Chain A
Amino acid sequence: MTLPDRGALSRRGFLGAALGSAGLGLLSGCNALSQREDFVDLLGSVEPLNQGLQRLLSDDRLVREFPARMISPVFRPNGSTDPRTPEYLALKANAFADYRLRIRGLVRHPLEFSLDALRALPTRTQITRHDCVEGWSVIGQWSGVPLAHLLRMAQLRPGARYVVFHCFDDLDGSGGRYYESVDLDDAFHPQTIAAHTLNGAPVPVANGAPLRMRIERKLGYKQPKYVHTIEVVDAYAAFGAGRGGYWEDQGYDWYGGI
């Protein structure tokens, strides 16, 4: 090297300063962009690609089911774990004896089931992994009625495209209620069940008593707990803020498959 040391040092200092200020500029730029609605919409423009790729690759294959020895000691609850809405407290006080699951919307036969009636229907039991959008996973054994069975009993009417789940819990205390939606592909997937049993016992309150959805190819927020009504619709824009679910209304993606 023929460079004088001082030159190398100041060159390094200059470069460090340049990189540092470029870094700070980048960060504030990213923060400013994150607050622009049009930019956030641009970021969201890849969602159809995510959905398309996942559908293309996985088709209607089943997710992995695990041996019983892999069941997690605690099925970690998240989000609502103890709903305080009056209608829920009234049912809980009576051990959900008065609970009814309603199926309505674009169906020929609106239906209503008590928990006992649901338990008498065909049951699917599956030991699956629950993946939270936060990043953690637990494994549990779920039993419930395949949603496909319930929807066939109710018979979809023409125009049916989505299934919306209405729940008892008010997650942020704003007076609204948790809700979610999936399309018919996921509604009719064999591992999509309305689960009344976790690890051989009635679903605990923290995990969604008395009935929660298991939609196994989705992240946790797409598998609503405390479900009381399953509504078949042609569009979900009329519910909540119109984006298809509680978390979707807060900016999360609707498909929720990755």
Chain B
Amino acid sequence: MPSIPDEAALPAQGEWRTLLRHRWPLRWMHWINLACMLALVGSGLQIFNAHPALYWGETSTFDSPAFATGSVRGPDGKGRGITRIATARFDTTGVLGVSARSSDGGMVVRGFPEWATIPGVRSLALGRSWHFFFAWAWVINGLCYLAWSLGTRHLSRDLAMRRRDWRAIPRSIADHLRFRHPQGDEAARYNPLQKLAYLGVVFVLAPLAILTGLAMSPQLDSVLGWWLQLVGGRQSARTLHFIAMALFVGFTLVHVLMVVYAGPINELRSMITGRFRVRHPRSETNTEQGHDAA
């Protein structure tokens, strides 16, 4: 097992301690959140495929989308997937615009490929059903997370940015760029960039996704008119909803990358059983921060 070497090297390098990093409600909510997000992204891309173009403003300007995954017939007579961003065009055959059907490998015209949508086959009706079901599950889970985080002071103790966090941002950026990971107790705390990322997702991205989602409802237009006008109109709201999705996916990729670099077994275990192992350098048992000394 590749994870063994660090444990084998343990006695020579310091004292290992196991601590309870994440309590069970947080662990459950984390994985429920992931399941909901996967369902929401997949079903959302299914819905996008029903009209694979985005616009800015109140209405659709069909000839000049801000973003579109379309297709053209190439000189060889075969369909090419063309993705447009404003006036730029990219050949994205195989992924966007034109992609393979899993049943027989035949190329078909569709926005996002089968492997990215729920369900794989084209079904706006089912995509919508998935999307609305998991939107409720995701929002309820998110509200539970907020209530729990406030109630247990997880938010104020572990996530809130303190003055020293702001001051530590430059060093944290340097540490990230060098893939240097904190040791000892510091490893069990969130670093400032991590805090900002989590706070941004919870308090900016999630509300943006929810509000732009609701703003697409013609019925809720009657209540959210001010918000629609603020973001520039219904098609703007749809585009922002899509951008929020892309940022969520980006966050998740970086999040997983960080887990891999920080030690995937230890990190995953901390989110499954709660137990997290940290190593305390032997020579500095009584100094407060081993990290600064290094």
Q: Report which A residues bind B (CB closer than 8 A).
A: 1-4, 7-8, 10-12, 14-15, 19, 26-27, 30-31, 34, 40, 42-47, 49-50, 54, 57-58, 61-64, 66, 70, 72, 76, 129, 131-139, 216-219, 247, 250-253, 257-258
Contact = CB atoms under 8 A, between A and B. Distances in A.
Contacts of B179: 1
A189 to B, nearest CB: 10
Interface residues of B, number: 54
A2 B13 contact: yes
Contacts of A131: 216, 218, 234
Nearest to B222: A61
B176 to A, nearest CB: 14
B32 interface: no
B13 A27 contact: no
Which DSSP category, helix, strand, loop or mixed, fits chain B's interface?
helix
B218 A27 contact: no
7 contacts: A15-B260, A26-B38, A31-B118, A31-B120, A43-B126, A129-B58, A139-B58
A60 B133 CA distance: 25
B217 A54 contact: yes
Contacts of B225: 64
A72 B130 CA distance: 32
A258 B219 contact: yes
Given A43-B130, A54-B219, A134 B124 contact: yes
Given A2-B13, A4-B5, A34-B118, A217 B133 contact: no
Contacts of B58: 66, 70, 129, 137, 139
B48 A252 contact: no
Interface string B202-224: 00000000000010111111110
B50 interface: yes
